[in-house]
Amino acid sequence: MLDIRFVRENPEIVKENIKKKFQDHKLPMVDEVIELDAKNRAAITEASELRASRNTLSKQVGMLMGQAKKDPSKLEEAEKVKAQVKANAERLAELEKLEEEYAARIRELMMNIPNIIDPSVPIGPDDSANVEVERFGEAVTPEYDIPYHTQIMESFNGVDMDAAGRVSGNGFYYLMGDIARLHSAVLAYARDFMIDKGFIYCIPPFMIHGNVVEGVMSQTDMDSMMYKIEGEDLYLIGTSEHSMIGKFIDQIIPEQSLPQTLTSYSPCFRKEKGAHGIEERGVYRIHQFEKQEMIVVCKPEESMDWYEKMWRYSVELFRNMEIPVRQLECCSGDLADLKVKSCDIEAWSPRQQKYFEVCSCSNLGDAQARRLKMRVKGEDGKMYLPHTLNNTVAAPPRMLIAFLENHLQADGSVTIPECLRPYMGGKAVLTPAAK
């Protein structure tokens, strides 16, 4: 969410940014919010003047009523002042109601006006215009066929989609045996990898209040992603970023405690509305998964440096697991409204012979901080808004797809890279179950 003063003083910049995001339907919002802001400030000024005059008029009534004991003509004058006090009170009530209405509509509009994107963001209408920046590791396609990921898992007796369908419906799964252990190993390694980078490990709440949801994401994302607990002001989190950034709601953060670098584990729950292609069957796009996340809260001037560090951490993690990846810069039309800049880390799929998303790194500027009323108290005593960033560390089971495809051998076995072996009981190879 932008600063209302910025919108008021730079309407053309805000409109140009909306055009760059290919959201022209939002252009009228800028003019409407500026008009409402002017009306709201006028109402606040008038209300303040009426409150200031209230005490003066009340004292005047008291004085005139006292004088009326000796001079009856003062009584009529006192009644006129009383009538003015009543009229002012009625007008003040009207203004206060208007202020509430103006403020609510202004907030609604401001929540839908997108954040100003960084000048480096490529311009394009959707993800088809995202730009490949760099590749890491050799993308190899073996001579033997790579089965679909659930077939690989089934060869280890490692997945049961049918049972999950009977228990929970589509979009759920049972992981078992070595595949379940591999899933946990990836998360444990990702946790320790981030701890070694100096991040504090956290396990956050898995449900959050509606005002936190509103503070960390756009209304569109909220409606399409979040599961609400019936009868409660609680939502299941779609990622631990939601509760980790929410941790700072209404807080004043001492400047000396920045940057806050946190890595959090959580299950994640998502509606995943809409139809998806054949490559998103199995455990690719699901309603429940687990994830290790990285979160940074920092000074504004440090956020782009952190952005660079964070996506490179993802690359390092995947390369340690011997998975080829690339960095893809997200274009303007593919950025969520709160984001200033974002990139995806995509892993190589030898079966599909293309890359697919496994991590998403985002700099949200001060948008979440403004929504959540997070503030930093500087050494000079002045308050300012911090910047917030987030990035996926590892999100199995999607990550398992990349892992299994890239480590599958011709005989059906799966090799385990050295970094994961301590979490797999020392195993270097997983062997399929006997048929």
Average pLDDT rounded to a whole number, residues 367-387: 96
Q: Check residue 66 and give its pLDDT.
A: 61
Q: b/e per residue, 317-329, with b = 16+ CB within 10 A? A: bbeebbbbbbbbb
Identify which of 331, 364, 303, 373 has the alpha carbon closest to the alpha carbon of residue 116: 364
Name residue 93's amino acid.
Answer: A
Name residue 236's amino acid.
Answer: L
Q: Check residue 278 and give its pLDDT.
A: 40
What's the pLDDT band for 62 if we cut at 50, 70, 90?
A: low
* Domains of the chain: residue spans and CATH: 4-110 (1.10.287.40), 127-430 (3.30.930.10)
pTM of full prediction above 0.85:
yes
* 435, pLDDT greater than 80: no
* 12, pLDDT greater than 70: yes
- Tens of pLDDT, residues 334-374: 999 999 999 999 999 999 999 999 999 999 999 999 999 99
Q: Check residue 71 and give its pLDDT.
A: 64
What's the pLDDT band for 65 if we cut at 50, 70, 90?
A: low
* 70, pLDDT greater than 80: no
Q: Check residue 39 and give its pLDDT.
A: 96
Average pLDDT rounded to a whole number, residues 263-284: 74
* 77, pLDDT greater than 70: no
Q: Check the CA dihedral 73-76-82-88 and report its sign.
A: negative
Query: Residue 359 burial by CB count (10 A; 0-12/13-18/19+): exposed, middle or buried?
Result: buried
* Cβ-Cβ contacts under 8 Å for 165 (sequence gap 6 or more): 172
Query: Residue 153 burial by CB count (10 A; 0-12/13-18/19+): exposed, middle or buried?
Result: buried
